[in-house]
Chain A
Amino acid sequence: MSENFRVALLGNPNCGKSALFNKLTGARQKIANYPGVTVERVAGILALPDGTQAEVIDLPGAYAFDASSPDEEVTRQVVQGEFPGEAEPDVLVLVLDAGNLEQHLVFAQEVLALGKPTIVALNMIDMAERDGLKLDATVLSQALGVPVIETVAVRRRGLDDLKSAIADARAQIGTHADRPVMDATERRLEARTIAKATVYQTSKARRVGDRLDSVLLNPWAGPLILLALLFVIFQAVFAWAAPLTDALDGGAGALGAWVEGALPESFLRDLLTEGIIAGVGSVVVFLPQIVILFLFILIMEATGYMARAAFLMDRLMAGVGLSGRSFIPLLSSFACAIPGIMATRSIADPKDRLTTILIAPLMTCSARLPVYAVIIAAFIPAREVGWGIGLQGLVLLALYLAGIVGALIVALVLRGTLTKGGATGFIMELPRYQLPSVGDIALGLWQRAWVFLRRAGTIIFSATVILWVLLSFPQAEPGESQVDASFAGQIADGLNVVLEPIGFNREISLALIPAMAAREVAVASLATTYAIDAENEEAEAEGLASTLSNRWSLPTALAFLAWFVFAPQCLSTIAVARRETNGWKWPLFMVGYLFALAYIFAGITYWSAVALGL
């Protein structure tokens, strides 16, 4: 029986349920997606005082069983034992925010009416006391007819009592308590009555959160504070991550060199070093950026600031049919689309979320910078256009803006067509401010990092092996270059037929194939191709920028830049989009529309430049 003992945690959003779950189960959590929906299933093991174990699932927060979000629908189906492949929980732990009892008791009535063995965790009792509320748990327990345990999850208060109560509830498994079934209005009236009886003292004192809000949501100070915070985050993602990224990059290089020295020359060795270590290494280097970005995001979420940021930015996002919740994921995508797409989980509306995922790759990520930098250095003269503004910087800015404008237009079009409807506007609870718990943040970071490494890693692993095989076989005859002889070379010949009309040459076609793994690889592979092609030492030594400026026309270079504004050349992003949308349909659509845009805009750029005689 002990293996099958299943406990479910449920409650309103912002009831402190996940913090309680973390404290009950520790770090041994399993995160997966419920099949068919993009709702996370979080489960863990709880050690009970009697030495047995229970499986605990942390159900998504719900305001009611009458679902208005996919999260609520999952919660309802799981609790009622209707979710396919998910066993019905034996005991429910209903988590209520002591500081917002009247509201949370409405959903509580609905849960209790199911008649299942239930325990109430009266959570965040310390915050309620801070706000001047005094509550009597005995009164609440009598009114609801179930045990009530006072808890403060972040301080571990009441946890042992809660565990004992869960163990005791095992005796009631399978029993059905007859509790009144009420309609929505009756539930609210009953909630009000019970809350009045339970809360025996309130104070009119102005809450700390109100004072914070009057600064953070102030029409002048609010946006400035947000802007300053974003600047710090960007600085951190670019600057703090750099040494760690370099170290990982160096580590992968050193590992490759060590394997190369330790193994005899063979295909296995080349596959390990050039394929697996170099390929997987090129993905793992994103980890420091992801961890740093998520550190900020998790802190913003845990403190309650994230909802305020969404509030401040909602009007601007509404202009393209999105809501304030899309702001942070899109902003994160300027560092890297991978954490950006992962951060879309905080968007409740599935269509808003999908639209945000689909446009996230248009934000100019840090991997595009090396490509932009090389081409700009080679083709754009370093002269001032006046007022101390350099032409090179202006072109870089234009490339960033092209991505943003592209994203906004695509969002508008998608919201009017494929992701039409379901514009649920913007209704969002601004939760009370809280000090985040270090343990919860650390656990969240670990989970995000692990999800990234495991899921994106497996797909990247297979893709890099395939790419390596394409580049290494068939083997070149003596005197012939390996890239030309390889399957990739042959594919490039085919690709060239398609890409020639937009001004690309065969070397570009060839560079685009390995650059599917990550955009910045394009630079390295152009360097390799021209190095191999170089007929004399002199040409090889002249550096990539000058090689390119000698061999490419300006229209070709501009077309190449336009291509990289749109082209979805990043397997990790595609892999993460697949994971987050639970299927291949939307990632394939994303890849298709981005390549189409890349092709069209590179073509327009090339032919306009030619027509202008550049």
Chain B
Amino acid sequence: MTLESLKPGHRARIAAIDWGALPPADAKRMRALGFETGVEVGMAHHGVFGGRDPVAVSIGRMTIALRKSQASAISLEAD
């Protein structure tokens, strides 16, 4: 399962991130915000329009807005 399909209110640990699938600038920014293998993330909110994109992800003590296309590069560990 990848991050964009995590249900709101649920949490999971990052299993792997496909950095190559992300534009380099996005990858840099996401690394700087602490997205890494082994880190716990949660789905805080889904967007409103068009496929409920973007999503708001909680990581550490922050909430980060991401587009689903970016979140789909992040694979989660199964429960």
Q: Footprint of B on A, CB under 8 Å? A: 63-64, 66, 68, 99-100, 102-103, 106-107, 184-185, 188, 210, 213-214, 217, 219, 222-223, 307, 310-312, 314-316, 318-319, 324, 422-430
Count contacts on B: residues with CB < 8 A to the other chain: 33
Q: In the complex, are the beta carbons of B32 and A100 less than 8 A apart?
A: no
Alpha-carbon gap, A311 to B49, bound state (A): 10
Known A217-B44, A430-B62; 7 more pairs at CB < 8 Å: A99-B61, A102-B60, A103-B34, A213-B63, A311-B47, A315-B50, A324-B65
Scoring B30, B36, B46, B61 by chain A CB atoms within 10 A of each residue's CB, the highest score goes to B61
Q: In the complex, are the beta carbons of A219 and B52 less than 8 A apart?
A: yes
CB-contact partner of B32 in A68, A102, A210, under 8 A: A68
Given A219-B48, A223-B48, verify A430-B63 contact (CB < 8 Å): yes
Please give the distance in Å from A304's CB to the nearest CB on chain B.
10
Given A63-B32, A425-B67, verify A314-B26 contact (CB < 8 Å): no
Please give the distance in Å from B42's CB to the nearest CB on chain A.
11
Alpha-carbon gap, A424 to B65, bound state (A): 13
Q: In the complex, are the beta carbons of A427 and B65 less than 8 A apart?
A: yes
Please give the distance in Å from A214's CB to the nearest CB on chain B.
8
Alpha-carbon gap, A430 to B55, bound state (A): 11
Alpha-carbon gap, A314 to B50, bound state (A): 10
B28 contacts across to A, CB distance below 8 A:
64, 66, 68
A427 contacts across to B, CB distance below 8 A:
26, 29-30, 33, 64-66, 70
A100 contacts across to B, CB distance below 8 A:
60-62
Alpha-carbon gap, A200 to B46, bound state (A): 33
Q: In the complex, are the beta carbons of A424 and B25 less than 8 A apart?
A: yes
Query: Residue B69 at the A interface, CB < 8 A?
Result: yes
Q: In the complex, are the beta carbons of A311 and B56 less than 8 A apart?
A: yes
- Closest residue of chain B to A209 (Cβ to Cβ) is B63
Q: In the complex, are the beta carbons of A422 and B25 less than 8 A apart?
A: yes
B46 contacts across to A, CB distance below 8 A:
219
A-B contact pairs, 9 of them (CB 8 A): A64-B32, A68-B29, A102-B60, A217-B45, A311-B65, A314-B47, A316-B50, A425-B23, A427-B66
Cβ contacts B15-58/A at 8 Å (1 or 0 each): 00000000101101111111010000000111111111110100
B70 contacts across to A, CB distance below 8 A:
425-427
Q: Footprint of A on B, CB under 8 Å? A: 23, 25-26, 28-34, 36, 44-54, 56, 60-67, 69-70
Q: In the complex, are the beta carbons of A314 and B53 less than 8 A apart?
A: yes
Alpha-carbon gap, A312 to B56, bound state (A): 10
A318 contacts across to B, CB distance below 8 A:
50, 53, 67
Q: In the complex, are the beta carbons of B47 and A315 less than 8 A apart?
A: yes
B44 contacts across to A, CB distance below 8 A:
210, 213, 217
B33 contacts across to A, CB distance below 8 A:
63, 103, 427, 429
Alpha-carbon gap, A222 to B65, bound state (A): 15
Given A64-B32, A311-B54, verify A103-B60 contact (CB < 8 Å): yes
B53 contacts across to A, CB distance below 8 A:
314-315, 318
Alpha-carbon gap, A466 to B70, bound state (A): 52
Q: In the complex, are the beta carbons of B25 and A63 less than 8 A apart?
A: no
CB-contact partner of A428 in B36, B48, B65, under 8 A: B65
B62 contacts across to A, CB distance below 8 A:
100, 103, 429-430
Alpha-carbon gap, A64 to B25, bound state (A): 12
CB-contact partner of B23 in A99, A102, A423, under 8 A: A423
Please give the distance in Å from B5's CB to the nearest CB on chain A.
17
Given A103-B33, A106-B32, A314-B54, verify A424-B63 contact (CB < 8 Å): no
A425 contacts across to B, CB distance below 8 A:
23, 26, 66-67, 69-70
Q: In the complex, are the beta carbons of A103 and B48 less than 8 A apart?
A: no
Please give the distance in Å from A318's CB to the nearest CB on chain B.
7
Alpha-carbon gap, A422 to B28, bound state (A): 13
B34 contacts across to A, CB distance below 8 A:
102-103, 106, 188
Alpha-carbon gap, A64 to B28, bound state (A): 9
Q: In the complex, are the beta carbons of A429 and B26 less than 8 A apart?
A: no
Q: In the complex, are the beta carbons of B52 and A314 less than 8 A apart?
A: no
The list of the 5 closest CB pairs from A to B, nearest first, reads A63-B32, A315-B49, A68-B28, A430-B63, A315-B50
B52 contacts across to A, CB distance below 8 A:
219
B65 contacts across to A, CB distance below 8 A:
307, 310-311, 314, 324, 426-430
Please give the distance in Å from A574's CB to the nearest CB on chain B.
31
Q: In the complex, are the beta carbons of A316 and B60 less than 8 A apart?
A: no
A424 contacts across to B, CB distance below 8 A:
23, 25-26, 29
Q: In the complex, are the beta carbons of A312 and B47 less than 8 A apart?
A: yes
- Closest residue of chain B to A202 (Cβ to Cβ) is B61
- Closest residue of chain B to A107 (Cβ to Cβ) is B32
Please give the distance in Å from B31's CB to the nearest CB on chain A.
7
Given A217-B45, A425-B23, verify A184-B67 contact (CB < 8 Å): no
Alpha-carbon gap, A123 to B30, bound state (A): 24
Q: In the complex, are the beta carbons of A315 and B64 less than 8 A apart?
A: no
A106 contacts across to B, CB distance below 8 A:
32, 34
B67 contacts across to A, CB distance below 8 A:
314, 318, 425-426
Please give the distance in Å from A207's CB to the nearest CB on chain B.
9
Alpha-carbon gap, A142 to B62, bound state (A): 26
Alpha-carbon gap, A214 to B9, bound state (A): 11
A429 contacts across to B, CB distance below 8 A:
33, 62-65
A66 contacts across to B, CB distance below 8 A:
28, 32
B25 contacts across to A, CB distance below 8 A:
68, 422, 424
Please give the distance in Å from B38's CB to the nearest CB on chain A.
11
Please give the distance in Å from B54's CB to the nearest CB on chain A.
5
Alpha-carbon gap, A214 to B44, bound state (A): 9
Given A103-B34, A103-B60, verify A426-B29 contact (CB < 8 Å): no
Alpha-carbon gap, A312 to B46, bound state (A): 9
